[in-house]
Structure formats: structure tokens, C-alpha cells
Amino acid sequence: MFNILKLNEISNKIDKIFDSDYNVTKDTENPDGILLRSFSMHEYPVKDKLLAVARCGAGVNNIPIPDYSEKAIVVFNTPGANANAVKELVLCSLILSSRNIVSAVEWVNTLKGTPDIPKQVESGKKAFIGPEIKGKTLGIIGLGAIGSLIANSAVALDMNVLGYDPFLSVDVAWKLSSEVQNAKSMQKILTESDYITLHVPYNKDTKGIINKEAVSKMKNGVTIINCARGELVDNDAVIEGLKSGKIAKYVTDFPCEELVGVKNVITIPHLGASTPEAEDNCAVMAAKQLKDFLENGNIINSVNFPTTVSPRAGVQRMTVVHKNVPGIIAKATTILSNHKINIANILCTSRGELAYMIIDVDSKMPKDIEKEFYCQEGIMKIRIL
């Protein structure tokens, strides 16, 4: 029986994933796995029994990754599960910002109780004229699961699309429309785009990639859309750009004190993945990954461990979390050989300082064999499945 703790409300679609071998609750004290969305785990105490944490979403800023890596806790996320929801919000943002819809609706609401509203609307609507997006250039920074969907949709809306991603995967490249132009540098995006949308992860290299220097290279009257991470944008640089007219609109899904109420800033209350479909997709994906790891030791979409997937072979399976140092495989095979246990299959992968091994054997291992493994330097966690 595996105990699964839910630290947030999670879609009940997971009930079809976890069978009678799982106890899924909001209050188990010693879980084998944890499912969460936005709950902050930075100050959350975890027990030694915890094997994995699955975040129902892409961002993992609410999880102390380095600390969990040292404790050999696998952290999963669900990249792409909410991609369509974010894509739709970005497309909505394109039109909201171009056609001045937000300010227009706000103005109409001020007419309540005044005479002849239809006449006032007809005379006042000219203040909200805005351009169509057809024929305009959209620059996309980051062509992952979300950026690639936006690129193809923008092509279908008759926009000129520039995409910049130095780490573009082959799988994504195959799915991109042939009409998406490959920008060789971010400079091309900045200088040629009427609209710029961000779809890169937040890290030390991407923090503030839209800064004063970047804004200075942009076309006059550019619109910037940020449904990725608030920290990708230097808010002071954007506000300065708005005041000078360099930036026409800034649409962000990450409201903060300095942006709320600023003219020509549209602040959306973090609705990117707030659809029932996205929440269901993320929950199901997270549950499947967690279940496969607990039952089979397979790792898919981990942010701190390497992808390691091996079909079952032999009679029994052992998984080994260890430091990425020489000699561990030799030590593992020697221990098994000393017990006259034949290895049916072995797979070892690494990521940075961590490595992970799946070993299938042709006979059952003795119960005390784990102690022999833990005596070896560099071994962090053993599981026999």
C-alpha cells in the first residue's frame, strides 16, 4: 500500500489512476508520494519515507529542489499538460491588447445611469480604435510545448511568426508550421516584432531578459505578453518604455504592486492554467508519473533526476539513487555476483551530481542485501520492487 498526500485540491480524475493499492488523502503523516499545485514546500517538513513529489504544473519554484535532491527525493512536473490553456490566454491577450478591449469595457461600465447610452457608445468608441493582428509580426521567445502551439495558431491567424529557441527539440521542430521563421538570435525578435510573447523557464540566465537594453532595441509601439514568469521582465524597464511610448501595451499574467493600475498594463490574475481541462490534464499526468515511479522505478519528467525508463525484466527489480561518481556500477554488480544473482537488465543514467540505476535480476534478492549497498560510498537510496 502506497500513501499519497495531497497538499492542494487535486482533480478527482486521479481516482482512475490510483487503484486499491493506494491510499490518497489530505492528511497522511508519512507519505510515499506527494501531489501538489501551488503549496509552498520550502518550510514543509518531510519524512525519510518520502520518495517523490509530483507538481501538477510546470513551475517548481515552490519546491526546494536542491534540498530534495540531497535527500534522493524525485521531483516531477507536468510540462505541456497545460499548454493549450496558456496558448488560448496568449491569443486572447493579443486581441485584448490590440483592440483596446479592456479599457473600452471599463469605459462602457462608467456609462451606467447616464442618458442614451447607445448614442454615447457610437460617439465614444473612436477613442478605442485598435489594429488587427492579421499581417503583423509576432515574435516568440521559447518554442517549447506552449510556444510552438502559439506559433502554429498565430500562423493560422495570418500573422508573420518569428520563433527564437536555441534549444529547440527535434520533436517540436517537426510539429512547427513551415511558415514559422527561425530567428537565429533574440535580437531579430526584438527589432522586427510588433508583438513579443515569452515562453522560457525562469532561471538565473533568463531573469530579466526583457530589460532596459532589450526594450531599447524593440520597434516603437511594441506589445509585450508575459504568461510565462513575472521575473522574466524588468518591470521598471517596461514602465519606462510605456511612458515613452516605445511600448504600447504590456500584458502580464503576474500582477504585482508596481504594475497594478499602470496605464496600458493589462494585469491578468494568473489565469494561464486556470481551466478545468488543464487542471485535469496536469493531475492525470502527475499521477501517472508518480505511480510508474513508485511501482516500477521509472522516471519521466523529473526536474532533478535523469529520465530513466526500462521495461520490466527478470524476477525482481532494484533501483539505486547514487552520487554520479566512478565505480558505483561495478560495486553494485559485484554485490549481486557475490550472491550468485544474475542480472537480466541494467540501466544507469546521470544528471549533474546525481545518478540513477535500474537493475532487473533473475532471482529474488535476500532482504539484507540493501545493507551491503548502503555500506558503499556514494549510495543514497535503495529500493527493491
CA distance 367 to 67: 29
Identify the pLDDT of residue 156. 97
Tell me: do 88 and 166 sit in the same domain: yes
Identify the pLDDT of residue 29. 86
Identify the pLDDT of residue 322. 97
322 is catalytic: no
* Confidence band for 294, pLDDT divided at 50, 70 and 90: very high
In-domain check, residue 106: no
CA distance 364 to 367: 9
Tell me: do 191 and 232 sit in the same domain: yes
Whether 335 contacts 313, CB under 8 Å: no
* Domain CATH number, residue 362: 3.30.70.260
Identify the pLDDT of residue 201. 87
In-domain check, residue 9: yes
How many separate domains does the chain show? 3
CA distance 71 to 156: 47
Compute the average pLDDT of residues 285-289.
Answer: 98
pLDDT digits (tens, 9 = 90+) for 80-138: 899 999 999 999 999 999 999 999 999 999 999 999 999 999 999 999 999 999 999 99
* Confidence band for 172, pLDDT divided at 50, 70 and 90: confident
Identify the pLDDT of residue 246. 97
Choose one of 264, 294, 315: the last residue of a domain. Answer: 264
* Domain CATH number, residue 74: 3.40.50.720
3-state secondary structure of 277: helix
Tell me: do 260 and 144 sit in the same domain: yes
Nine-digit cell at 144? Answer: 517549447
Choose one of 264, 288, 321: the last residue of a domain. Answer: 264
Catalytic residue among 37, 55, 199, 229: 229
Identify the pLDDT of residue 147. 96
CA distance 342 to 362: 6
Catalytic residue among 258, 277, 353, 377: 258
Tell me: do 68 and 91 sit in the same domain: no
In-domain check, residue 346: yes
Mean pLDDT taken over the chain: 95
Tell me: do 289 and 333 sit in the same domain: no
* Confidence band for 3, pLDDT divided at 50, 70 and 90: very high
Please give the distance of CA 47 from its chain centroid, rounded to a whole number.
26
186 is in which domain, residue-wise? 83-95+132-264
The identity of residue 372, as a single letter, is: E
Whether 23 contacts 2, CB under 8 Å: yes
Tell me: do 229 and 157 sit in the same domain: yes
In-domain check, residue 115: no
Q: Can you list the positions of beta strands (E) in the chain?
A: 2-6, 22-25, 33-36, 52-55, 74-76, 137-141, 160-164, 181-182, 195-198, 222-226, 247-252, 265-267, 316-323, 343-351, 354-361, 379-384
Tell me: do 223 and 361 sit in the same domain: no
CA angle 103, 107, 113 (to 5 degrees): 160
Tell me: do 216 and 282 sit in the same domain: no
- How far is the CA of 300 from the CAs of 15, 66, 107, 135, in angstroms? 20, 19, 49, 40
Q: What is the pTM of this model?
A: 0.84
Tell me: do 88 and 236 sit in the same domain: yes
270 is catalytic: yes
Choose one of 242, 264, 286: the last residue of a domain. Answer: 264
Ordered DSSP codes for 130-169: ---STT-EEEEE--SHHHHHHHHHHHHTT-EEEEE-TT--
CA distance 329 to 314: 19
CA angle 221, 161, 127 (to 5 degrees): 30
Instruction: Output phi, psi for 145, to 5 deg.
Output: -60, -40
Residue linked to cell 468608441 = 125
In-domain check, residue 101: no
Tell me: do 321 and 333 sit in the same domain: yes
258 is catalytic: yes
Compute the average pLDDT of residues 177-195.
Answer: 96
Catalytic residue among 99, 270, 312, 383: 270
Q: Can you list the positions of beta strands (E) in 204-342?
A: 222-226, 247-252, 265-267, 316-323
In-domain check, residue 123: no
For 202-238, letters b (16+ CB in 10 Å) and e give beeebeebbeeebbeebbeebbbbbbbbebbbbbebb
In-domain check, residue 124: no
In-domain check, residue 155: yes
Identify the pLDDT of residue 193. 98
Tell me: do 230 and 282 sit in the same domain: no
Tell me: do 73 and 163 sit in the same domain: no
